[in-house]
Amino acid sequence: MMSTGCAMMSPQPDAPLASTKATPLTLKHAPVSLPDNSLESPANTVQQTESTVSLPANLPDELKKVLLAQHKEWQGTRYRLGGMSRKGVDCSGFVYLTFQERLGMTLPRNTSKQVREGRDIAKKDLQVGDLVFFRTGRNNHVGIYMDNGQFLHASTRAGVKISRLGDSYWTRTYWKAKRLDLPSAQQVAKLQ
């Protein structure tokens, strides 16, 4: 059976975008400092030069906090096709869970359906929270744009982590980006 997304399973039925059925997690946000090896370079061609993820202040602060908190909580969780837990998660499952748990939004479960949500965005116009898609072979891949050319995702090699769009592998496999109708910064803050 050929899959068109990173998950062939669909453990939960698709629901309309921006559903508020999810129960958000309650967190206290603190600055997140990442270890020197936290940014993935699949081809090992790009060296990391910073040890922290810096996001400009002109983008929604609450959304950045939410995504950094999700990264901190899930960092290193191994990749598992069809996975939906900290024992293992695939890329579309991680995106699904992040939007459900952190933003109160229900997205489709697999990449082939997630790529149909929202509106197309040019790479040069990416903003925090946009979905970024890659053609990585038999299965497509998805992550959540963090800004400064970085995105959060479940990597097949290193599990949940932040990677750089500028790394040669991600540049070569980049496909498209989609923008969803996200909650406002005030709504995001209330969910936390």
Catalytic residue numbers read 91, 141, 153
Q: Measure the CA–CA gap between 164 and 49, rounded to whole angstroms.
A: 12
Pairing of strands 159-164, 39-40: parallel
Structure tokens that stand for 160 in this block: 């949940």
Cα 156 to chain centroid distance, Å, stands at 14
